[in-house]
Amino acid sequence: MNATAPLLEVRDLSVAFKGGAIQAVDGVDLAIGAGETLAVVGESGSGKSVTSLAVLRLFGRDDGAVARGRILWRGEDLLPMPEATLRRYRGREIAIIFQDPGASLNPVFPIGEQIAEVLRRHNGTPKRAARAQALDLLRDVGIADPERRIDSYPHQLSGGMRQRVMIAIALACAPKLLIADEPTTALDVTIQAQILRLLKALQARTGMGLLFITHDLELVADIADRIAVMYAGQVVETGPAAEVLARPAHPYTRALLECRPHHDADGVVRFAPIPGAPPRGIFPHGCRFAPRCALAEEACRASAIPLAAAAERHETRCRRWEVLA
Amino acid sequence: MTSLVSLRDVSRHFPLPRRRLFTRPVLRAVQQVSFDVAPGEVVGLVGESGSGKSTLGRVALGLLPATEGAVLFEGQDLGALRPAQMRAMRRHMQMVFQDPFASLNPRRSVGGAIAEVLALHGLPHGEADVGAALARVGLEAADMKRRPRQFSGGQRQRIAIARALAVRPRFLVADEPVSALDVSVQAGILKLLQELRGELGLAMLFISHDLTVVEAMADRVLVLYLGRVMEAGPAREIFRAPRHPYTAALLASAPGSKRPEMVLQGEIPSPASPPSGCVFRTRCPFALPDCAREVPPLRSVAPGHEKACIRDDLAL
């Protein structure tokens, strides 16, 4: 395997629920390399979380999820793998953290034991060594007074500290890729800044890839190398984060940026809501954003729009992107 | 400037369970806060969770009595009103909450919920009146027959706003009104609030953790930390040239901030045992030994702009 090949490559991934009745993700391509941060951005229902869950096949039994396409982990397809084989990758090679750390931690065990359990199960670390390593991990993620905190129960910790514990658990087996699904959405901005700084520092040290799922475009500017904007189950724009944010080549990306309060040419504060609502589950023909797009014309609705290059490494799923520039 | 709402040295404490026999611990959610809201003015309230924003919002409406100090509405002390007088007063002061799923009765039609509030205040509450209240927030008269679950989150927040504004209040407390919504939906609600403010001459206490939104909505801003005002002043000045280290740290922590990096260490202490002196000193990168001695009073740093910090030598 050569050094420049991506760690994770998602090709033409589609996920449907309830026996295909609800299409959540439709033909998504993503790639992420070692040490790289890719931000997947979108509103609720865009398919960003489903995409991340599909990588590790973390669907409930009752979801009736059907995934198609390829999920290549260092060249190996995870999608057709039996559950028992996939389990070897979960946590050890690819770890995931979620928005609500309270729901991911077991309320009846001290946090130290929960970290140690991961080490014992995945690495077979003996009990005493696992506790010592758990202590190191708590220190690494910036828990103050780890000797005392190691025996705390989740409810005794603040939201910010619980998220640090989740990161410690995720990092226990030194994964090569960390998937972070809205990890700071429930936290105060000051704590969010601490967690982002921590993730960046850990990434710089370990060289892990970071797949960051978020709804917050402003946050993307701070952390991501590349960005993929999702709408109605598809990636509608992807490219270097700084460039996509400065020169969006898809009307949806542009509209999302303009939803945030901004000053117009006269210095007046403006809010520009996107008219209508995103489609859910069943998508319109042609461009899925067309019903809400000011630039849409007849041809946009006629047939599916492919991703096309707008600049080097910058792609957009829009026929009329040049009008935006 | 005549004020519509006026808080004078307001504190709100909550008793905590007794741990020892002779001491009764209290949680000091709000400590000696004073501010005024002029008619038609929007005052923004910012600060981390646990800073006392929501408690202060409820105290300003008389939903929670102040433990100390007074809340005046047009000069009338809310604490001195009899229950019947307070109910009549509620017509002028309304609230919109963060979660439109929890604040609407699921068994009641939307029109019924609005008619109820109108009737409660002895106002006309026929279909035309309810329809007008819904039209004001961009919904249709036909929507009045539907139940809350038939609406999206953004539409529900519109209904909650319609209900709050149906009685034509002069003061609205909006507690994180867009935090639970998607960005594109947020923009619609904020735009609506701004339009209604102009149309109805509404004064607002706008509580949000989203600094960009507060900057856009508020005329003046109050920065709270552990129940105390750290800084208060015109929104423009607070956001462009903060004078208190906590304000500067909050602004620097906001995603996409272009301000010099200033990551605060640790977390907000418990309001049950706040630090002595300046409550922010335990996390302040500029704290001096003197900061522990006494609570720094708010002092004027520019017209209408105050800060509670003893240091004037900081370039923030």
- Residue B212 contacts residue A283 (beta carbons within 8 Å): no
Which residues of B are less than 8 Å from A274 in CB distance?
184, 187
In chain A, the N- to C-terminal Cα span, in Å, equals 39
Q: Which of B184, B249, B255 sits opposite A259 (nearest CB)?
A: B184
Q: Which of A222, A255, A273 sits opposite B255 (nearest CB)?
A: A222
Query: A256: nearest CA in chain B?
Result: B184
Distance CA A227, CA A214 (A): 10
Average pLDDT estimate for A279-301: 91
Residue environment code for A18-34, b if the CB has 16+ CB neighbours within 10 A, otherwise e: eeeebbbbbbbbbbbbb
Which residues of B are less than 8 Å from A260 in CB distance?
183, 187, 212
Question: How far does CA B119 lie from the centroid of its chain?
Answer: 27
Alpha-carbon gap: A207 to the closest alpha carbon of chain B (Å): 23
Whole-number average pLDDT of chain A: 92
Residue A51: pLDDT band with limits 50, 70, 90: very high
- Residues near B68 by Cβ (< 8 Å), separated by ≥ 6? B9, B10, B11, B32
- Residue A144 contacts residue B266 (beta carbons within 8 Å): yes
Average pLDDT estimate for A284-292: 93
Query: Which residues of chain B register pLDDT less than 50?
Result: none
Q: Do B187 and A259 touch (CB under 8 A)?
A: yes
Which residues of A are less than 8 Å from B251 in CB distance?
none
Distance CA A273, CA A283 (A): 21
Per-residue pLDDT of A208-225, as tens digits, reads: 999 999 999 999 989 999
Average pLDDT estimate for A297-301: 95
Distance CA A39, CA A41 (A): 6
Average pLDDT estimate for A212-240: 95
| pLDDT for the residue A1 | 42
One-letter amino acid identity for A137? Answer: L
Beta strands in chain B (DSSP E): 5-15, 26-37, 42-46, 68-73, 76-77, 93-96, 171-175, 203-207, 220-225, 228-234, 299-302, 305-307
Task: Pull the structure tokens for residue A148.
Answer: 């005392």
Question: How far does CA A119 lie from the centroid of its chain?
Answer: 25
Give chain A's largest Cα–Cα span: 68
Alpha-carbon gap: B268 to the closest alpha carbon of chain A (Å): 10
Q: Do A273 and B191 touch (CB under 8 A)?
A: yes
Q: Measured between CB atoms, does B293 come within 8 Å of chain A? A: no
Which residues of A are less than 8 Å from B212 in CB distance?
218, 260-261
Query: B247: nearest CA in chain A?
Result: A190
Which residues of A are less than 8 Å from B208 in CB distance?
none
Per-residue pLDDT of A71-80, as tens digits, reads: 999 999 999 9
Per-residue pLDDT of A108-122, as tens digits, reads: 999 999 999 999 988
Find residue B37's DSSP bridge partners: B5
Above 90 in pLDDT, residue A265? no
Q: Which of B152, B216, B267 sits opposite A269 (nearest CB)?
A: B216
Distance CA A195, CA A201 (A): 10
User: Which stretch of DSSP H or E encloses residue A238?
Assistant: strand A234-240
| pLDDT for the residue A34 | 95
Going from the C-alpha of B106 to that of each of A49, A67, B151, the distances in angstroms are 29, 36, 11
Task: Pull the structure tokens for residue A112.
Answer: 């130290």
Q: Which of A191, A216, A273 sits opposite B267 (nearest CB)?
A: A191
| pLDDT for the residue A4 | 64
Residue ranges and CATH numbers for the domains of chain B are: 5-15+37-307 (3.40.50.300)
Residue with tokens 């809501």: A273
Whether ipTM exceeds 0.90: no
Above 50 in pLDDT, residue A2? no
Closest by CA position to A37, among listed A214, A233, A248: A214
- Residue B275 contacts residue B246 (beta carbons within 8 Å): no
Query: A272: nearest CA in chain B?
Result: B187
Which of A156, A189, A231 to probe the B interface (max B CBs under 10 A)? A189
What's the Rg (C-alpha) of chain A? 21
Strands B305-307 vs B228-234: parallel, antiparallel or unpaired: antiparallel
Which residues of B are less than 8 Å from A293 in CB distance?
none
Q: Do A221 and B184 touch (CB under 8 A)?
A: no
Q: Do A273 and B209 touch (CB under 8 A)?
A: no
Q: Do B182 and A256 touch (CB under 8 A)?
A: no
Task: Pull the structure tokens for residue B93.
Answer: 């002061």
| pLDDT for the residue B232 | 98
Q: Measured between CB atoms, does B212 come within 8 Å of chain A? A: yes
Residue A263: pLDDT band with limits 50, 70, 90: confident
Alpha-carbon gap: B184 to the closest alpha carbon of chain A (Å): 5
Q: Would you say how long chain B is, in residues?
A: 316
Average pLDDT estimate for A290-317: 95
Which residues of A are less than 8 Å from B52 in CB distance?
none
Closest by CA position to B162, among listed B187, B192, B127, B185: B192
Q: Which of B185, B187, B217 sits opposite A272 (nearest CB)?
A: B187
Find residue A71's DSSP bridge partners: A10
Query: A242: nearest CA in chain B?
Result: B256
Above 90 in pLDDT, residue A22? no
- Residue A51 contacts residue A39 (beta carbons within 8 Å): no
Q: Do A261 and B216 touch (CB under 8 A)?
A: yes
